[in-house]
Amino acid sequence: MKTELVSSRDWAEAVTLLHAGEMVGLPTETVYGLAADALDPIAVAKIFEAKERPRFDPLIVHLPDPDWLERIVDLPAQDRQLILKLTDRFWPGPFTIVLPRKSVVPEIVTAGLSTVAVRISAHPVFADTIQAFGAPLAAPSANRFGRVSPTTAQHVWDELNGRIPIIVDAGSTIHGIESTIVAVRGRKIDILRRGPITAEQLLEFGKIDAVDSKRTISAPGQLPTHYSPKTPLRLVENANSFAPGKDERVGLLAWNRINQVRKTIRGSSSLKRTTRLPRSCGKSVP
């Protein structure tokens, strides 16, 4: 299969392919997604094949607008008010909620579960595409299973070139991490996957809890090896003791302020200036 990389101005080409039952690489505000008609099991099967994704790992369904919510899910009566408050506050945006699915949603989308994960993307290109398509899209991250999620069209190309027909290039994504996933049970908000919408933001709406997903999979992205970067991680107690190899690119992440870091990086000049890294701040060193 030949993969075409097109500008964000040409998103209408993606709509044509979606109507033909194909999958397309699309930008969202979180990461790039691999989208197909969520209500067409054959189209969804192509996503699993291209990604080499196991069939027991469910997908997120993106909605064109809030009116679609109750067309594909049942809202539990006791939690209805809380669910609608959450979606009203965080949609469109990087917020996914797991709800009881209706039979219109194919089992392949939900990995046979009785629930489905749904959200509405805030990315203008994705929004234009799905609204023109006129129906929900299943759209997991556009990479092979177990790899780091793509934040640029080039990342999608590197992962899926020759596996999908088109990638719509809209530049880098805003957040760079997957959406927050929650479930509302008994007027309580369970965080199934952490993301851009924080626990502090959710706390405004009620009691929250972080769910351990090691035993059972109830939402996308819960497998322990779902996000597995290949870059080695090194832990050091003293920043001055760290010396990268010649021409080695590294990223430095510090949880405490670092003062007066003076060292010679092999293959480059000395760092003469004082380096001050704020708490939880990373610094890239070429």
DSSP 39-107: T-HHHHHHHHHHHT--TTS--EEEPSSGGGHHHHB---GGGHHHHHHHHHHH-SSSEEEEEEBPTTS-H
- What's the rounded mean pLDDT across residues 247-273? 58
pLDDT in tens, 141-173: 999 998 899 999 999 999 999 999 999 999 999
More confident residue, 236 or 4: 4
The residue ranges of every structural domain in the chain are 4-210, 231-286
The mean pLDDT value for 36-63 works out to 96
CB neighbour burial string for 78-89, b if at least 16 within 10 angstroms, e if fewer: ebeebbeebbee
Who has greater pLDDT, 97 or 244?
97
Percent of the chain past pLDDT 70, that is, above it, reads 83
Residue scoring higher pLDDT (133 or 243): 133
Q: Tell me: domain 4-210, CATH 3.40.1080.10, correct?
A: no
Tens-place pLDDT, residues 94-110: 999 999 999 999 999 99
pTM: 0.81
Of 249 and 224, the one with more pLDDT: 249
DSSP-assigned letter for residue 149: P
The residues pairing with 43 across neighbouring beta strands, listed in sequence order, are none
pLDDT at 225: 58
Cα–Cα distance measured from residue 271 to residue 79, given in angstroms and rounded to the nearest whole number: 56
Whether 77 shows a pLDDT value over 90: the answer reads yes
Going by C-alpha positions, the residue among 94, 138, 89, 101 that lies closest to residue 120 is 94
| pLDDT, position 212 | 62
Across the chain, what does the average pLDDT equal?
A: 87
Query: Is the predicted pLDDT of residue 284 greater than 60, yes or no?
Result: no
pLDDT of amino acid 276: 41
- Rg of the chain over Cα atoms, rounded to whole angstroms, equals 21
pLDDT band for 259, please (50, 70, 90 cuts).
low
237 pLDDT band (50/70/90 cuts)? confident
* Rounded distance between C-alpha atoms, residue 198 and residue 29, angstroms: 16
Q: Bridge-partner residues for 119, per DSSP? A: 62
Q: Tell me, what's the pLDDT at 260?
A: 54
Q: Is the pLDDT of residue 214 over 90?
A: no
Q: What is the mean pLDDT of residues 189-210?
A: 93
**Of 13-22, 156-165, 176-185, 247-256, the least confident:** 247-256
